[in-house]
Amino acid sequence: MAKFDKIKALIDCRCPHCRIGKVFSGSPYALRKRRTNQICSHCGFFFELEPGYFYAAMYISYFMIIAEGVLTGWLIFEIARSESIWLYLTTILSVTLFLSPINFRYSRLILLYCLSPKIKYDPKYKDELGLK
């Protein structure tokens, strides 16, 4: 159950420490006012643990883009059975550009939730979620 709560909090872009506050403000596709919050609005957790901490998220984003490109290419091959390189290039590029705001957010969240052993969920916030 705790694993499910962690995945749900990650999908909802919640703070990894309290799972209540939001990590990002604004919509991922908003042209303005979209950013990573510096601190959690609920528990005050500082998201960027050290200067340049989120640079590591670029590597995660890179792997996400590769996976999306391979999956898109495979789907094009299965659906269209085309040998046109332009069909593959334009579709993969379009999908990659369309998903880049999502990749930006979830690469940072994966870094916070899965690849940062110093960040632990504090169970004292569990009552505030109404889970018990």
- Which positions lie near Zn ion, rule CB under 5 A? 15, 17-18, 21, 40, 42-43, 45
Looking at the Cβ atoms of 95 and 110, the one nearer to Zn ion is 110
CB of 18 or CB of 95, closer to Zn ion: 18
Distances (CA, A) of 78 to 27, 50, 67, 81, 94: 33, 45, 16, 6, 18
Smallest separation, CB 106 to Zn ion (Å): 18
Closer to Zn ion by Cβ: residue 21 or 107 = 21
Assign residue 69 a region: left if phi > 0, alpha if psi is -120 to 50, beta otherwise? Answer: alpha
Least spacing, CB of residue 105 vs Zn ion, in Å: 16
